[in-house]
Amino acid sequence: MAYSEKVIDHTENPRNVGTLDKNDDAVGTGLVGAPACGDVMRLQIKVGDDGKIADAKFKTFGCGSAIASSSLATEWLKGKSLDEAEAIKNTQIVEELNLPPVKIHCSVLAEDAIKSAIADYRAKQAARKSAT
């Protein structure tokens, strides 16, 4: 199957690969997997004092489309508010990367990862609030 140029670019030069401290209160971690193909994806956001996403990192073990989807997601996340980030749809990723139908589930995984990172961040903030 032929990958689009954008997928190849993100696979060969993935942006923002790495780890943020998952114990940091400002960091939200999303860990998701696609059991049908054995992929695993971790996506992390660090939220600044202004409420905007200051940094985003990912680590994905999976196919080129899964790596490209999460790489693109971290690029898009930086500078966004949580609400804006939450509004990112997998269909936008599909469109940007020109993913074929059989790879749409990779973009779904990336959207899941974004949502679960935001949920983790919010849960941490709520826990901190109720602790003080």
Partner 1 sequence: MPADPFERLGIPRRFAIDRREAEEKHLALSRALHPDKQVGASPPERRAALSLAIEVNEAWRVVRDPIKRAEAILQLSGLEGEVGETREPKPSGGFLMEVMESREALEEARASKERAAVEAVVVSAKKQREDVEGELASRLDAALALPEVERLPALRATIPLLGRLRYAARLLSEANTARDEIDGF
42 binds partner 1 (CB under 8 A): yes
Give CA torsion, residues 95, 97, 102, 104, to 10 deg: -60
Q: Total residues contacting partner 1 (rule CB under 8 A)?
A: 15
State the catalytic residue, choosing from 106, 109, 113, 114.
Answer: 106
Q: State yes or no: is 106 an active-site residue.
A: yes
**Quick one: CA dihedral 83, 27, 72, 111, positive or negative?**
negative
**What residues contact residue 124 under an 8 Å CB cut-off, 6+ apart?**
25, 28
Stretch that binds partner 1, among 4-12, 38-46, 50-58, 79-87 (CB under 8 A): 38-46
Q: Of 130, 128, 66, whose CA–CA distance to 93 is shortest?
A: 66
Q: Does 40 bind partner 1 (CB under 8 A)?
A: yes
Does the annotation mark 63 as catalytic? no
Shortest distance (Å) from residue 14 CB to partner 1: 13
Residue ranges that bind partner 1, judged by CB under 8 A: 31-38, 40, 42, 59, 61, 105, 108-109
